[in-house]
Structure 1
Amino acid sequence: MVAAGHPSVSMAGARVLADGGNAVDAVLVMAAVSWLVLPGQCGIGGDAFALYRGPDGRVTSFGGSGYGPDGAGTGFYRELGLTAIPLSGALAVAVPGAVAAIAALHRAGASRPLAELWAPVATMAETGVPCTAKTHDDVSQHAESLARDPDAARAFLPGGRPVRTGQRVLHPALAQTLRRLADDPACLYRGELGERAVALLTAAGAPFSGAEWEAGADVSGEPSITAEYGGLLVHQTPPPTPGWMVLQQAGICADRLGSLPWLGSDAVHWLASAARTSFADRARAGSDTPFWRTLLEPESLRVRRERIENGTAPRPGAMDIDGDTTSMVAVDGAGRAVGLIHSLAHTFGARLSVPGTGIMLNNRLGRGAYLAEGHPNAVAPRRRPLHTLNAWLVTDDVGELRHIGNVPGGDGQVQWNTQLLSHLIDHGTDPYTAVSAPRFTVFPGSDADVLEQAPELRCESRLDPSVLRRLHDLGHPVRRVGAWGAGGSAQVVSLDAATGALLGGSDPRQDGVAIGV
């Protein structure tokens, strides 16, 4: 079974499985197809993280998140008169990690050469893919900045106007790049493609040395981070992802949510308060520091649980979850399971492409790194910026797969993933019920440019009005965002332990679908 946020992505993965490929093969094709059909959300120039459960039951994480420039410290940007790293252009870019993570995942578990898997995707890029309403809206919203990049303008603004829904978007340069990367993924880091990217960025003032770009190719699998919840083992992606925040929130709420009415005011209060607590802790933890491990210790969880019980949980300032990401999951008949999530950070990333390649570059450095001297997330050489992407996988006490999923949405991810786990584990919902349940999001979060905005609890209006009133009485600054307006596009596949059947759910907030073969 596969699930993804676009029908073409799901269909591509399902075809691979039906043709005898495994779950890794399927996800590798799904990732490449999503670069074509969801170009505002992800791309070769972005970052990616994956969790992989192999046929032996071992769960491995693959982290593709690159460094900022070797020449960049807080002083570099301050001398330019900046109070924050820009969100577009060369100064916003971090070394892309998606291709390195995908190559490592391929080495770990694929059954077919990358060139074979990506050949049909390259053909799709040459013949064109129909523009969706989502891509039309993304292009229309960012037309002015895309028009300043010749390659982006050629693809997305034909005749100077945003590509229409249904109109084919042609990517001939991207087709050539896909074939080159399939033969040698490292060429993005240690070959001509990497050299062209570094030349573009340094000419525009970004202080890359090229060495940090070469280092970006070195991704290998590492153990997931894990915690027990509801008698099951939850696996998460390690830093620089915020996967530990999902485990912390679950630990704070452990043994409480299952006895509370599903999506009642008390359950929402606990989940929202745990999320606020986790973001306050993240402000101190940064991205790669080991401090997060102490936050999962029983005593730390007990203290934070008591703060929620006595009404002294933190209430920091707000954040903005603007940004685009897409994700996918695949499970095969041999028990392999893969969840992958990838992004350009904000929509179309830095809105800057490497000429003649079709590679749109990310703006992860601008979104995630601070200009706060001495802070663990301050921009610094060989320090990965703060991240929002994370993926999870759940196994039982003998290591058998129970659930796998993920959800895009900036700093909403760690909150919505915790909500999904509660729906599935505490209340036994099926995947579609879990992904379509009313969603709520606390503000603040961690984005560098919005740390001081006013706090809110953004709730979909499908939550019962009495629940919303009670949340207000409990001190939450409730704001209604429409019946389906919270954001995110969750994907979940579960294994029914009683029947052995795979159950899938794809979020109705976007165009995705789950397909079984």
Structure 2
Amino acid sequence: MDIKTNKIRFVFLLILLVCLRQSLLGQDRITGRSFASRSEVIAPHAMAATSHPLATQVAIDILQQGGNAIDAAIAANATLGLMEPTGCGIGGDLFAIIWDEKTKQLYGLNASGRSPKSLTFEYFTKNGYKEIPSHGPLPVSVPGCVDGWFEMHKKFGSLPIDKILSPAINYAREGFPVTELISYYIQLSAPFLSKYPGFKDVFMPNGNAPDKGDIFKNPALANTYEKLATGGRDAFYKGDIAKTIAAYIKEQGGFLSYEDLAAHSSEWVKPVSTNYRGYDVWELPPNGQGIAALQMLNILEQYDVASMGFGSEEYIHLFTEAKKVAYEDRAKFYSDMAFNQIPVDKLISKNYAKERAQLIKERAARSYPAGKLKDGDTIYLTVADSHGNMVSLIQSNYRGMGSGMTPPGLGFILQDRGELFNIQDKNHFNAYAPGKRPFHTIIPSFITKDGKPWLSFGVMGGAMQPQGHVQIVVNLIDFGMNLQEAGDAPRIQHLGSSQPTGEEMTDGGTLYMESGFDYEVIRGLMKRGHKISYGDGIYGGYQAILKDTERGVYFGASESRKDGQASGY
């Protein structure tokens, strides 16, 4: 047999093998199992899942030292503020949903900060601003994270706060190796943030942003954490830290004052929910965007999503249009509830969803009206302990590293959440006002089943978050994926909807699709009128813990697109 014949047979055999593989993958197309990066983590006593392996280990260590899930979540968040400053830190805000096993109920914490009381709507109009700047002193609002930690600890904590913060303090002094992803994001931010006083001192101590594997130290942050460990939350909001922040912002031409910091408080709120095919999905009410996920789920529940199949043209079209409909309400209503009568119950009602679903047609809509009712990078972590407590926590600076405002000697950047106010319309629900919380993008989530905890989870990434929440829920409940598969399966994200800051969708926006979807599906969506961007985009980060009450074990999963890790014992 000649060489040419052997080559032909080899090519033919290779084609057969490829076809067989595609056939096998096709059998699992509905579950998405071909996309799983690894198996789930399973443990009998406790579980932690964060966006950094060392932070996950810190959480586990705290649990093994006798701490509970709340203690471990605070310790992990403090560690992430050091190790992942590209997404979080004590210059930002925090939201959490906590399952307390003792009382067997959920508690919601809104630890987001308010705008400076001396800054007015008229300041922006008089100075010709069409939108609030993304960086510098003007978008800085009160950082709520630290007060959030102490509120959680006061209500549910077990270990002393100095023991909880000790791992982060030690890492800040001794140093830790920077991961590839975090190095990339710091180096991406450095060229435009380094112009602000203080940034280089913390994040470019040798004149350059750290490379992958470099040992990075932040002694200034260690000192700040030590002040919190000994002086409590008042050390941040009423002590030298607050005075340093206020003086720095004033020097930069901003408005955040010592009085703004001293007056800050977090708020315990009641989570809200909708039932999706027998599962109660819980989110926090506005000023966050969590109820958008509930609105989308209420629309999707009216359709036989499971029969459509994961990755199908029908499902992706329906999902995208449901998102567009919900986000019009998001643009109009979501804002600080202390300043507005927001009809949350009606927005997440089944009857309202039926009305909104009637707007969805076979072709992509260029725009949708907001509902007529009578009456804005991030980290996510979750921890579960041996007592049955579970914490769903999300924390962020906004825009990755925040405003660039880096007060001297403190080791962190202040957030720029104030950018998300509307300064185009003074009568808008989300219009800027002194002492007001801006529209917020970061949202934790939780699912209960028959009144028992089932899932603590979150998906990071701005406007992706409600869309990510819905995709995880649908992947688990409709498509039967396991916890890791649900996060690994390729995602979609629609951008271009109307915004709480005043922008309006008129062209239908763009549907971003992660690699892994069939080209025939993409072509079908384009024929329906969707503008597609394939392979590009940011699709968020995911952590989750599922509680199997029958077998008494926890399942953990973490984002395969980032550095995250789930671990238990």
TM-score interval, normalised by the smaller of the two chains: over 0.9
Q: Deviations over 1:230-270 (max 9, x none)?
A: 10111112211111111111111114223431232212122
Alignment of 1:33-44 (within 5 A): 33-44=79-90
User: Where does the alignment leave 5 or more consecutive residues of structure 1 unmatched?
Assistant: 318-322
Q: CA deviation at 1:281?
A: 1.1
Q: Secondary structure at the match of 1:354?
A: coil
Matched, 1:509 2:557: no
Residue 433 of structure 1 aligns with an amino acid whose one-letter code is: E
Instruction: Decide whether the 8 Å contact of 2:367 with 2:505 is kept in 1.
Output: no
Number of the residue aligned with 1:245: 292
Q: CA deviation at 1:450?
A: 6.8
Q: Secondary structure at the match of 1:353?
A: coil
Q: Structure 1 79/452 Cα, relative in aligned 2: closer, same or farther at 3 Å?
A: farther
Alignment of 1:40-439 (within 5 A): 40-55=86-101, 56-183=103-230, 184-216=232-264, 218-256=265-303, 257-288=305-336, 289=340, 290-309=342-361, 315=367, 324-397=377-450, 399-439=451-491
Residue 459 of structure 1 aligns with an amino acid whose one-letter code is: M
Q: TM-score, normalised by structure 1?
A: 0.93
Distance 1:447 1:178 in 2: 35
Matched, 1:500 2:500: no
Indicate the RMSD between aligned Cα atoms, in angstroms.
Answer: 2.1
Q: Structure 1 13/453 Cα, relative in aligned 2: closer, same or farther at 3 Å?
A: farther
Distance 2:420 2:378 in 1: 13
Residue 52 of structure 2 aligns with an amino acid whose one-letter code is: H
Q: CA deviation at 1:312?
A: 8.0
Tell me which structure has the larger Cα radius of gyration.
2
Residue 417 of structure 2 aligns with an amino acid whose one-letter code is: R
Number of the residue aligned with 2:6: none
Q: 4+ residue runs of structure 1 moved beyond 6 angstroms?
A: none
Residue 2 of structure 1 aligns with an amino acid whose one-letter code is: A
Residue 319 of structure 2 aligns with an amino acid whose one-letter code is: L
Distance 2:552 2:331 in 1: 42
Q: Structure 1 166/150 Cα, relative in aligned 2: closer, same or farther at 3 Å?
A: farther
Distance 1:370 1:428 in 2: 44
User: Where does the alignment leave 5 or more consecutive residues of structure 2 unmatched?
Assistant: 1-46, 370-375
Number of the residue aligned with 2:57: 11
Number of the residue aligned with 1:27: 73
Name the stretch that deviates more: 127-136 or 451-460: 451-460
Distance 2:352 2:432 in 1: 28
Q: CA deviation at 1:227?
A: 1.3
Instruction: Decide whether the 8 Å contact of 1:316 with 1:444 is kept in 2.
Output: no
Q: Deviations over 1:142-174 (max 9, x none)?
A: 223332345321232233222221112211111
Residue 358 of structure 2 aligns with an amino acid whose one-letter code is: E
Number of the residue aligned with 1:320: none
Instruction: Decide whether the 8 Å contact of 2:142 with 2:256 is kept in 1.
Output: no
Instruction: Decide whether the 8 Å contact of 1:440 with 1:486 is kept in 2.
Output: no
Distance 1:469 1:496 in 2: 40
Identity, in percent, stands at 29
Q: CA deviation at 1:386?
A: 1.0
Distance 1:191 1:241 in 2: 29
Distance 1:275 1:209 in 2: 38
Q: CA deviation at 1:210?
A: 3.7
Name the stretch that deviates more: 121-130 or 432-441: 121-130
Name the stretch that deviates more: 143-152 or 234-243: 143-152
Distance 1:123 1:57 in 2: 35
Q: Deviations over 1:455-491 (max 9, x none)?
A: 1000112012222122222222121025xx5421111
Q: Secondary structure at the match of 1:92?
A: coil
Residue 54 of structure 2 aligns with an amino acid whose one-letter code is: S
Distance 1:105 1:371 in 2: 36
Number of the residue aligned with 1:461: 515
Q: CA deviation at 1:6?
A: 1.0
Instruction: Decide whether the 8 Å contact of 2:321 with 2:364 is kept in 1.
Output: no
Q: Structure 1 486/274 Cα, relative in aligned 2: closer, same or farther at 3 Å?
A: same
Q: Structure 1 4/113 Cα, relative in aligned 2: closer, same or farther at 3 Å?
A: same
Number of the residue aligned with 1:477: 531
